Structure 1
Amino acid sequence: MGNLNSITIMLIAANAIFSYKGFNNYAFFEKFKFDIGAIQRGQKYRMVSSGFLHTNPAHLFMNMFGLFLFADQVIAGVGEIGFLIVYFGSLLAGSLLSLYFNKNDYNYTAVGASGAVTGVLYSAIVLGPELKYYFIFLPSRIGSFDLGIKGYLLGIGYMLYTIYAMKKKTDNVGHDAHFGGAIGGYVFTLLLASSLLTVNLTVTLLLALPIVILFVMKKAGKL
């Protein structure tokens, strides 16, 4: 993890340039952010442009750091063009799910690359579900006990937490965009690497379980 491919560099640069323009230009920020009312009036470009805006440098850094950590794994699995398909497909999927869940709230707005980055993370998990992930500020093991979490458990756990957060709505985080991004990462990765369905069928299907749960809950009126 963590190699800077030229494609990754270009995406980070695009996010940084676009975001810093938005930091210093309120009209620019307002024109390109995700805005339900504006999108309903036909400004569909906001569903992509908002993914390159951030609220502040810390928000930008966190998303770009996540991209830096997982991009190379996805590039290794599906190639550079495939990675771009995953990135932009996840970005759009995040926006679409946000639109779906908030279509009647004309005051709903959002910015950030987190949908795309979550899609890249979920793509990396789909490509390597048995790989272990470690928390940066914690030791990798305590004595003989390994603190790593297998990717598919991390992915499923995160998605279930996201459903919980979407239901509670107690913070200002765009959890629906994160979830939509993960759906995009899952779907586009399988389209690009369909052999995963035979190599890791059980785990690959398990990773779809939170997606099924979300839409069952939505249909039952519990979201």
Structure 2
Amino acid sequence: MTITEILSLLIIAANIYVSYRGFKDSEFYNRYAFEVEKVIVYRQYDRLVTSGFLHVNWTHLIFNMISLYLFSTSLAGQLEVFSYLLIYFGSLIAGNLFSLVLHKKDSDYSSVGASGAVSGIIFASIALFPGFNIGLLFLPVAFPAWIFGLAFILYSVYGIRSRSNNIGHEAHLGAAVAGMLIAILLEPSVLAYNYFPILVILIPCIVFIYIIIKMPHYLFVDNLFYKRHSRSYTIEDRYNTQKIDMQKKVDQILEKIHQKGMNSLTKKEKEILDEYSKTTR
């Protein structure tokens, strides 16, 4: 067993441990889940990565970990540690960044799951290994991996339409493209002998991404681009409103200090000043 294969198993173990903690502790779950407002306004950029180790439920976790194991077996056996980590975390972050842009006006949007990273691993495997087949568990049936890839895309599009849970379906497509492109950059020679599966996967992904961005009404997606015709209360609006309110409170407190001195301040007023000083450093 190579170091990269051991690393892939450690990543699976980390997913199981972190997800289990999230199942048991809602505060832990909420702190590390991907939330648009927390990333943009509060600059909690760690959520772009930590959300990838949380899952909605056991079914979500098990499906992702089985998919990750099946595809990592081949990929980890061929790639160096750095290349594997680049594909895994590059896909995870790219998928969440795509969701961040897509849902910029949806401050309450949140998602969790390793699906973005798994998508990147799956599509990197399809790009790097021509003729790669997938067998069904307990059944003597195998089919080309690119067919699984297409099914994965369709499932993601269905998930985007339904929007029935906190699974980041939008991230799947962005992460899949990122994973495949990173793999091609690492091994550009695959374009010469494995172009068919690559094109079969990349073209639908790019088409659906274009539809999501430019024509989201076809998928019933509310996002930054679709809501241009109407005024909505964005994260920037909320941030600016909070900033104005804070400034008014600070001005009132400073006026009170000017008239009555520092000792006249209440505990709450001192906390407001302290909070304001931290934001202006």
TM range (shorter): 0.7 to 0.9
**Once the 2 structures are TM-superposed, how far is the Cα of residue 161 of structure 1 from its aligned partner?**
4.4
**Once the 2 structures are TM-superposed, how far is the Cα of residue 138 of structure 1 from its aligned partner?**
4.2
Note the 1:60-209 alignment, pairs <5 A.
60-136=61-137, 138-140=139-141, 148-166=142-160, 168-169=161-162, 171-172=164-165, 173-209=167-203
Q: Residue 33 of structure 1 contacts residue 49 of structure 1 at CA under 8 Å; is this kept in 2?
A: yes
Call closer, same or farther: CA 1:85–1:202 in 2, change over 3 Å. Answer: same
Match of 2:19?
19
Q: Residue 5 of structure 2 contacts residue 77 of structure 2 at CA under 8 Å; is this kept in 1?
A: no
The alignment of Structure 1 onto Structure 2 pairs a total of residues equal to: 212
Mapped to 1, the partners of 2:187 and 2:158 lie a distance apart of 30
Q: Residue 129 of structure 1 contacts residue 151 of structure 1 at CA under 8 Å; is this kept in 2?
A: no
Mapped to 2, the partners of 1:33 and 1:138 lie a distance apart of 36
Q: Percent identity?
A: 35
- Give TM-score scaled by structure 1 length: 0.85
Mapped to 2, the partners of 1:103 and 1:197 lie a distance apart of 35
Higher relative contact order (CA 8 A, sep 6+): 1
Mapped to 2, the partners of 1:155 and 1:126 lie a distance apart of 11
**Once the 2 structures are TM-superposed, how far is the Cα of residue 203 of structure 1 from its aligned partner?**
3.3
Match of 1:219?
214
Give RMSD over aligned pairs. Answer: 2.1
**Once the 2 structures are TM-superposed, how far is the Cα of residue 61 of structure 1 from its aligned partner?**
2.2
Mapped to 2, the partners of 1:190 and 1:129 lie a distance apart of 13
**Once the 2 structures are TM-superposed, how far is the Cα of residue 209 of structure 1 from its aligned partner?**
0.4
Match of 2:254?
none
| Paired residue type of 1:210 | P
Mapped to 2, the partners of 1:62 and 1:151 lie a distance apart of 17
Q: Residue 134 of structure 2 contacts residue 145 of structure 2 at CA under 8 Å; is this kept in 1?
A: yes
| Paired residue type of 1:193 | E
Is the radius of gyration larger for structure 1 or structure 2? Answer: 2
**Once the 2 structures are TM-superposed, how far is the Cα of residue 38 of structure 1 from its aligned partner?**
0.8
Call closer, same or farther: CA 1:20–1:211 in 2, change over 3 Å. Answer: same
| Paired residue type of 2:162 | K
Q: Which runs of 5+ in 1 are unaligned?
A: 141-147
Mapped to 2, the partners of 1:9 and 1:202 lie a distance apart of 31
Mapped to 1, the partners of 2:19 and 2:86 lie a distance apart of 22
Call closer, same or farther: CA 1:207–1:77 in 2, change over 3 Å. Answer: farther
Mapped to 1, the partners of 2:130 and 2:146 lie a distance apart of 5
Between Structure 1 and Structure 2, which shows a larger proportion of helix residues? 2
State the secondary structure of the residue aligned to 2:45: coil
- Give TM-score scaled by structure 2 length: 0.68
Match of 1:9?
9
Mapped to 2, the partners of 1:117 and 1:208 lie a distance apart of 16
Call closer, same or farther: CA 1:205–1:45 in 2, change over 3 Å. Answer: same
Match of 1:143?
none
| Paired residue type of 1:122 | F
Deviation per CA, 1:82-134: give whole Å up to 9, x if none: 11111101111111121122221111111111111121111111122422223
